[in-house]
Amino acid sequence: MLKKILGVAALVAILGATGALAETIKIGVTPGEHAQILEKVAEVAKPKGLDIQILEFSDYVVPNQALNDGELDANSFQHKPYLDNQIADRKFDIVDVAYTVNFPMGVYSKKVKSFDELADGATIAIPNDPTNGGRALLILADKGAIKLRDGAGLKVTPADITENKKNFKFVELDAAQLPRSIDDVDAAAINTNYALEAGLDPMNGTILKEGEKAPYVNLIAVRTADKDKPWVKTLIESYHSDPVKQFILDKYKGAAVPSW
């Protein structure tokens, strides 16, 4: 009997040391920075009893579909305007639970060294989804290169341009394809995760750069039914840990900014 009591006590002690959590989850990310950061998060989470399996996706659409369909437990790759647009368009039952990092979007060119050098009628490639395409146009509007329709919001398109001083032409491409388009256009607005993956320099290699804007902070999303589960809390605590923050600061040197 004494051995049995001691055995139960030892088991309770072990469970207490691991926070009584023993869970394996699958998280979808895009390749590059989101995957690299999540690998560090997984290191922090493992001693807490949370085993994170990382699945990489090459586009922005499939990770939300896979999460909604139960093939993933969470994803970490998108900002709030994009998630909101996906939920509205596709009726996904998913929700954001924590902010992660911000990757300021940049405009890159192999033809000119500054934005002001772009010629009249230059072609600029932008993402073809409403939120990231709108984000690119807002960068140009902030520069004063174009004016947008009053009240157009964040999801602006080339159709919302009311003034285009240098008659720029806009080509809309899948966000992941934009780095490969640079040789064929005069400039391209590229999400930083794809820019880094392609070997571009977000800190010194842009001709125009977005300021830090809260709507574009990236986030962790889960199914709505799972948002209060214990593993979600452990995941957030692990992501928002000092080791992960230091990893981001040391590795990306300002190209990615912790948002907690």
Instruction: List pLDDT tens digits, range 207-222.
Output: 999 976 668 999 999 9
CB 100 within 8 A of CB 217: yes
Give the 3-state secondary structure percentages of the chain, helix then strand then coil, rounded to 5: 45, 25, 35
Which of 229, 231, 230, 232 has its CA nearest to residue 219? Answer: 232
Q: How do beta strands 208-209 and 106-108 pair?
A: antiparallel
How far apart, in Å, are the Cα atoms of 180 and each of 81, 91, 141? 25, 32, 24
pLDDT in tens, 33-57: 999 999 999 999 999 999 999 999 9
Amino acid (1-letter code) at residue 137: L
Tell me: pLDDT of 147 over 90: yes
pLDDT recorded at residue 212: 66
Tell me: pLDDT of 20 over 90: no
Q: Which fold has domain 21-103+215-258?
A: D-Maltodextrin-Binding Protein; domain 2 (3.40.190)
Tell me: pLDDT of 130 over 90: no
- With a pLDDT cut of 70, the percent of the chain lying above it is 91
In which residue ranges of the chain is CATH 3.40.190.10 found?
Answer: 21-103+215-258, 106-211
pTM of the predicted structure, to 2 decimals? 0.78
CATH of domain 106-211: 3.40.190.10
- Two structure tokens written together for 2: 């004494």
- Kindly report which listed range (109-123, 143-157, 230-244) carries the lowest average pLDDT score: 143-157
Amino acid (1-letter code) at residue 11: L
pLDDT recorded at residue 214: 62
Using the CB atoms, write b or e for 90-118: b if 16+ within 10 Å.
Answer: eebebbbbbbbbbbbbbbbbeeeeebeeb
Tell me: pLDDT of 19 over 60: no
d(CA 19, CA 11): 12
Tell me: pLDDT of 6 over 70: no
Tell me: pLDDT of 7 over 80: no
Provide mean pLDDT across the span 225-246.
99
pLDDT recorded at residue 10: 44
